[in-house]
Structure 1
Amino acid sequence: MSVARGTAGGVSRGGDDGRMPRSLALIVISAGCILALSMGVRQSLGLYLTPVSEAIGTGREAYALSLGLMNLMWGLFAPLAGVLADKRGPMAVGLAGGALYAVGVVWLAFSGSELELAGAGILIGIGLSGAGFTVILGAVGRAAPERFRASALALASLGSSLGQFVALPYAHGLTDAAGWWWSLVILGITSALMVPLALGLMGASKAGDLIVSRQTLGEAVREAFSTPGFWLLNAGFFVCGFHLAFISVHLPAYAADRGLEPWVATAALTAVGLGNIFGTYGFAKLGTVIQKKDALALLYTIRAFIFLGFLLLPLSPTLVITMSFLLGLTWLGTVPLTSGLVAHMFGPVYLSTLFGLVFMGHQVGGFLGSWLAGRIFDMVGSYDPVWWLSVGLGLISALLHILIRERPVERLRAAAATA
């Protein structure tokens, strides 16, 4: 049976006034800034699909494959990064991830072939595994005492939303001022700020600081694998990855195909980021009022109908921006709900590893959402089949989350009964 010491990761429980401890606040701020950079720059990479494809002389599939590989490598390496963070602490993993990410973005600018594009995507993806949600939110989840955990995860996730809101006009402005090539180089340099920010995670614990029992990492993984809800959560998160990658990579090109000016795509993705600011925190708070699985089911249902609107309604700049804002309300609200659900079901000790395994499903979906959409477009000259697929997947994900039994595993229930 795993039990926590008096404080989680050396972070005090906070005063009687209910305020977040300063040590935890520092970790949350550092985590939020890292996620703002890693998620913001990643979100803006879709703006470069057309200019990079034209510069190299390929169809859209090559660049889409590069970003698909980014998502796939992010997912495949996320469990390994989570294990390292659980065993060695998140600071070193965040440092390495931030450095690899920055190099990968600069490499993307220098790519002159399909193979080099693929290499850049792979490097960015590996960097994201260390500077993305699994390690960073795992650090926050372990550091936060239970009464602060939901708020701490929501605030750290909010950083990613703010980053996405700011990064898109930042990247667009750089492109207008200096061209797409210099814009990518400067984005890579900006991404390097994640390296010093990772030092703020120094106070976050590793798993060994929290447990005094004999449950090992392998036992924790086997426990999760034997729980049906873990696999339902994984399958549902696959859909989230598909949706986000499809929109991030292909919405600018889709808007251009429908005869809209380039500024509309930038404004639409910025509107996604703005809606995301409200949606991430709002859905996280909703998960404290109703069951997290039900909040996720509602989120995916709303998202499916928004996709249907993109497909069936006559598009205009106003409609695209409005629909994008509504889509943003559902964008990353999945992250604090899903990570919080993992922590609730299995405890916070091996949160980075277990959330990393769930996140692998998300990124497999991300790979398909990026690459498959480009493949289908090159084959049939239209994104319509992908929009219909996105609608169906959203409704399926909603059903999968309804089927989850939201309760701690037997080990935690037994520990609570004997406490």
Structure 2
Amino acid sequence: MSTAKPAYATPLKNPTFYVIVAAALIISAAMGIRQTFGLFIGPFSYDRGLPVTRVAFAIALHNLVWGFAQPFAGAAADRYGAAPVVAFGATTFAAGLALAAGSPSGIALIAGLGLLVGIGVSCTTFGVVLTAVGRAATPEQRSMAMGIASAGGSLGQVLMVPFAQLVRETSRISTSLYALAFLMLVAAPFGMLLDRRKEVGTPHAAASPAAATVPPLRETLAHAMRHRGYRLLTLGFFTCGFQLAFIATHLPGYLTLCHMPMGLGATALALIGLFNMAGSWACGWLGGRFRQQHVLGWLYLIRGATIAAFFLLPKSTVSVVLFAAVMGLTWLGTVPLTSGLIAKVFGTRHLGTLFGVVFLSHQLGSFLGAWLGGYVFDATGSYTLIWPATALAGLFAALLHFPIDDTVHAPVEPARA
């Protein structure tokens, strides 16, 4: 009988505990900050005279840049470790926020929130940070460890959204963005803990006997592209990005159009982050006990049904709170499940790169969700056309995930004590 303890047991004596905590703090800063961007669409438009489409494009562009940069950031972390990648990303992220804060022009906004933030967030979130957790944890506990890190990372959304709203209401837009940039820099040093398990002598995937037989990156990528399950996972993740980016970017504005109370949009985004803590943990737990692709399928079905019900039913403060709660439970639980499924099938040696390719599809969806929402609003004066498409996308993703084959196609990793 195995006597291996969970990756998060006896925390002070287990180096994996520090990896999980560091990952949660870094993801909290990066994801929490980017979750605030929807709060700035109105102020940028009214105070600086920028069209909603242009502001939405800047936010959408960072999702697109994030997606294209993610495979490269993941590959850099696979080769050099997570710490230098996180340091570079946090600095670039902060520079993008500062550039957007310091100049009222649309070009600076696009370069800051679009290009620099996109590069920065690719180095400080899932493809780099969560894959470090995946390498540190045992194969048996990997899904749970990733779920815990994702759940802890949701704390940033709970705290950052009301913080940004408060600073924005009491000061200028610039002050709020500068404050967020400072917080991003504060999180950078925690990247040094992500490689802690390797430093203290625990066998790393690259040094394990099984890793000696792991094929090179080019061969692994070619094999993954031929794998039907990997292709289905990539297509399905597009839906996740589309749904989340549309809601995070345009929910505050939509609620304003529905004559909801002022500040309810910020409250809804914060509630999504709060319930995402429980949802990410639950998805990690479920992924360790059931087939991860089946959990993903049900998650997308629930999310799509929730979006449809919210759009069709009358709007009230109660319905907004319930919508935010259910969306939070299904929000980022897709990430530990998706990355855990990739690790199960292909191993962890090239996990950062393989997840980065899948995540590119997610970010293409994010770009379309954020930008298309703004385009539809400017063209029609409402979001009526986009909500049904967002709901139907959940059904589409579920149909893609249920038939995924999770047969192992990588050398079996040796058990760790």
Task: Tell me the TM-score normalized by structure 2.
Answer: 0.92
Identity of aligned residues (%): 37
Which residue matches 1:143? Answer: 136
Q: Please, which of 48, 68, 86 is the counterpart of residue 56 of structure 1?
A: 48
Task: Indicate the residue corresponding to 1:281 in structure 2.
Answer: 281
Sort the Cα spacing of 1:204 and 1:111 in 2 relative to 1 into closer, same or farther, 3 A: farther
Deviation string for 1:87-131 (max 9, x for gaps)? Answer: 111111011011111111122212322211110121001001111
Find the residue that maps to 1:357 and give its secondary structure: helix
Please name the residue that 1:190 is paired with.
183
Match of 1:117 in 2: 109
Matches within 5 A, 1:71-110: 71-110=63-102
Residues 34-60 of structure 1, C-alpha deviations (whole Å, 9 max, x = no match): 000000011111111100122221221
Distance in 1 of aligned mates of 2:224 and 2:328? 31
Q: Which moved further from structure 2: 159-168 or 207-216?
A: 207-216
- Residue 176 (structure 1) shift: 2.5
Contact preservation (8 Å) 1:86, 1:208: no
Superposition pairs of residues 367-386 of structure 1, within 5 angstroms: 367-386=367-386
* Deviation, structure 1 residue 16: 12
Q: Which moved more, 1:194-203 or 1:227-236?
A: 194-203
Distance 1:239 1:279 in 2: 18
Partner SS, residue 35 of structure 2: helix
| Change in CA separation of 1:118 and 1:15 when aligned onto 2, cut-off 3 Å | closer
Distance 1:175-1:214 versus aligned 2 partners, 3 A rule: closer
* 1:156-171 to 2 correspondences below 5 Å: 156-171=149-164
Equivalent residue for 1:47, pick from 31, 34, 39: 39
SS in 2 for 1:286: helix
Aligned-residue offset at 1:282: 0.8
Partner deviation per Cα, 1:273-323 (whole Å, 9 max, x = no partner)? 111111111122112222111111111111111111221111112211221
CA distance in 1, matches of 2:370, 2:205: 34
Partners of 1:293 and 1:23 in 2: CA distance: 29
Aligned partners of 1:345, 1:173: CA distance in 2, in Å? 45
> Any stretches of 5+ residues in structure 2 without a counterpart?
199-203
Counterpart AA for 2:302: I
Contact 1:241 1:365 in 2 (8 A): yes
Partner SS, residue 349 of structure 1: coil
Task: Quote the residue 2:201 is aligned against.
Answer: none
The answer to whether 1:233 aligns with 2:225 is no
Distance 1:111 1:249 in 2: 21
CA distance, structure 1, for counterparts of residue 319 and residue 28 of structure 2: 27
Alignment partner, residue 265 of structure 1: 265
Matched residue type, 2:188: V
Deviations 1:374-407 (A, max 9, x none): 0111111111111011011110000000121122
Deviations 1:226-250 (A, max 9, x none): 1011111011111000111101110
Cα distance between partner residues in 1 of 2:9 and 2:140? 9
Pairwise CA RMSD: 1.9
- Does the Cα contact within 8 Å between 2:26 and 2:190 map onto a contact in 1? yes
2:120 alignment counterpart: 127
The Cα shift of 1:214 comes to 5.4
* 1:321 aligned residue: 321
Maintained 8 Å contact 2:95/2:181:
yes
Aligned 8 A contact 2:229 2:405 in 1? yes
C-alpha distance in 1 between matches for 2:121 and 2:26: 10
Counterpart position of 1:350: 350
Do the aligned partners of residues 115 and 30 (structure 1) sit closer, same or farther apart at CA in structure 2, a change above 3 Å counting?
Answer: same
- Aligned pairs for 1:193-232 (under 5 A) are 193-203=186-196, 205=198, 208-210=206-208, 211-213=211-213, 215-232=215-232
Partner amino acid, structure 1, of 2:354? L
Q: Does 1:29 align with 2:12?
A: no
CA distance in structure 1 between the partners assigned to 2:160 and 2:84 by the alignment: 25
Q: Distance in 2 between matches of 1:375 and 1:51?
A: 18
Q: Is the 8 A contact 1:71 1:363 kept in 2?
A: yes
Partner SS, residue 152 of structure 1: helix
Corresponding position of 1:172: 165
Q: Work out whether residues 44 and 168 of structure 1, in 8 Å CA contact, stay in contact via their aligned partners in 2.
A: yes
Hey, what's the Cα distance between the residues in 2 that align with 1:204 and 1:102?
28
1:304-361 deviation digits (Å, cap 9, x = unpaired)? 1111122111111221122111111100010111110110111111111111111110
Q: Whole-Å Cα distance in 1 between the matches of residues 174 and 284 of structure 2?
A: 38
Cα separation, 2, equivalents of 1:86 and 1:18:
26
1:214–1:333 Cα change, 3 Å: closer
Preserved contact between residue 69 and residue 122 of structure 1 (Cα < 8 Å): yes
Aligned residue identity for 1:355 = F
Distance in 1 of aligned mates of 2:353 and 2:213: 18
CA separation in 2, counterparts of 1:88 and 1:391? 40
Contact 1:35 1:132 in 2 (8 A): yes
How many angstroms does 1:207 deviate by?
6.0
Aligned partners of 2:191, 2:247: CA distance in 1, in Å?
29
SS of 1:363's equivalent? helix
Q: How much does 1:14 deviate?
A: 5.3
Tell me the equivalent position of 1:4: none
Within 2, Cα distance between the matches of 1:326 and 1:93?
34
Between the aligned partners of 2:8 and 2:390, the Cα distance in structure 1 is 45
Alignment size in residue pairs: 402
